Structure 1
Amino acid sequence: MADIYSAWLRLVDSAHALLDFMGAGGVVMWGLALLCVLFWTLMLERFWFMQRIFPRWVAERRQAWHALQGAGSWQRSVRSAWLAEARQQLAGPLRMAKTLVALCPLLGLLGTVSGMIAVFDVLALNGNGNPRGMAAGVWQATLPTMAGMVLAISGLFSLARLERITGRALERLADQLRHD
């Protein structure tokens, strides 16, 4: 029972630390959090699609391809259509993921601008006699920038891996739909 209680306390402390972190970065941090959730949901869906759905789709097309062997000269058109459909299924959602990755540093830059405005407000109201107020603004300016860059860099790595997997899957499908 004591272990559950201490785990609960650690979870609550972690939640408070996360909320403090998000609050220190200003409103822009919540936008970055939303982008992060959207991006990683899309990435997990794409990896799941590549592991579960797409192999079944390929098996159905391969079986239909073998049934079409020797059926006529229109096989090349069917093959082209299936490859185009596969390319759309695999690469289409990646455009949205690329857009989300590109938005992360831009939103971080927006946080930098809003944080610097907070610094200038402190300077305008108090002069340079309030270092704590200026430090909070600088913190608010740098935190979203760092968060946006971290999200963008991790997103680029996962996108590169997913594009590589997608390219290989398309090549395998093209090889499987050749005349024997």
Structure 2
Amino acid sequence: MLFTELYEPVYLFMERGGMVLFSILFLVLFLWGFVLERVFYFMFVHRASVKAAVAEWEARSERRSWAAHQIRQDLLSRLSFELTSNMSTIKMLIGLAPLFGLLGTVTGMIEVFDVMAFLGSGSPKAMASGISKATIPTMAGMVAAITGVFAQSLLDRYIKREKIRIEDQLTFDH
């Protein structure tokens, strides 16, 4: 009973939005899959990577030579690369979401124009389906982009703080 109460509104929403809404759904699933991957990495893998890099740096007997600076830079670059992995994919998916919404707008308006050409402009009830297929994907694409931008800004802020923290841990104190 509960499943059908939840399923029916979602099914009606997807049906009213048209086929483009399914592509927006898959895009959002990929987007949040990558966001959750980054969160999982930060929570479970990143600390061990930083710990290993700091241990490698601390194991060095001298830290002032040009070679030591290059090794430190390599450690920082490696950790930075791991921190920012998949962020460009997240940004790309955020940029695609409104474009998919716009595609839904265009396909919905084409449907409206087809109805107008076939029945004339005097049948607003017949045009309502096309207008629905034009506005719902637009809204869905914008909502997907807004939530993605929010998540991306939180991830970017965390990455920025983490880079500073890592640089502070790899000091030249010898």
TM range (shorter): over 0.9
Pair 1:116 & 2:145 matched:
no
Count of residue correspondences: 172
Pair 1:40 & 2:25 matched:
no
Q: Which moved more, 1:62-71 or 1:136-145?
A: 62-71
Pair 1:154 & 2:140 matched:
no
Q: Which moved more, 1:64-73 or 1:127-136?
A: 64-73
Structure 2 residue matching 1:68: 3-state secondary structure: coil
Alignment of structure 1 residues 4-153 onto 2, 5 Å: 9-70=1-62, 73=65, 74-153=67-146
Aligned equivalents of 2:52 and 2:63: distance in 1? 18
Give structure 2 stretches of 5+ with no counterpart: none
Give structure 1 stretches of 5+ with no counterpart: 1-8
The residue type paired with residue 5 of structure 2 is: D
The residue type paired with residue 48 of structure 2 is: R
Structure 2 residue matching 1:179: 3-state secondary structure: coil
Counterpart among 150, 153, 162 of residue 169 in structure 1: 162
Please report how far the alpha carbon of residue 72 of structure 1 lies from its aligned counterpart in structure 2 after TM superposition.
Answer: 6.8
Aligned equivalents of 2:76 and 2:10: distance in 1? 45
Aligned equivalents of 2:152 and 2:168: distance in 1? 24
Alpha-carbon deviations, 1:65-86, whole Å to 9, x = none? 1101316721111111111111
Aligned equivalents of 2:162 and 2:61: distance in 1? 22
Are 2:104 and 2:133, in contact at CA under 8 Å, matched by a contact in 1? yes
Aligned equivalents of 2:16 and 2:72: distance in 1? 55
Aligned equivalents of 1:168 and 1:81: distance in 2? 19
Aligned equivalents of 1:54 and 1:69: distance in 2? 25
Is the alpha carbon distance of 1:116 and 1:61 closer, same or farther for their aligned partners in structure 2, counting shifts above 3 Å? same
CA RMSD of aligned residues (A): 1.1
Runs of 4 or more consecutive aligned structure 1 residues displaced over 3 Å after TM superposition: none
Please report how far the alpha carbon of residue 130 of structure 1 lies from its aligned counterpart in structure 2 after TM superposition.
Answer: 2.1
Are 2:64 and 2:172, in contact at CA under 8 Å, matched by a contact in 1? no
After TM superposition, the score normalised by the length of structure 2 is 0.95
After TM superposition, the score normalised by the length of structure 1 is 0.92
Aligned equivalents of 1:89 and 1:100: distance in 2? 19
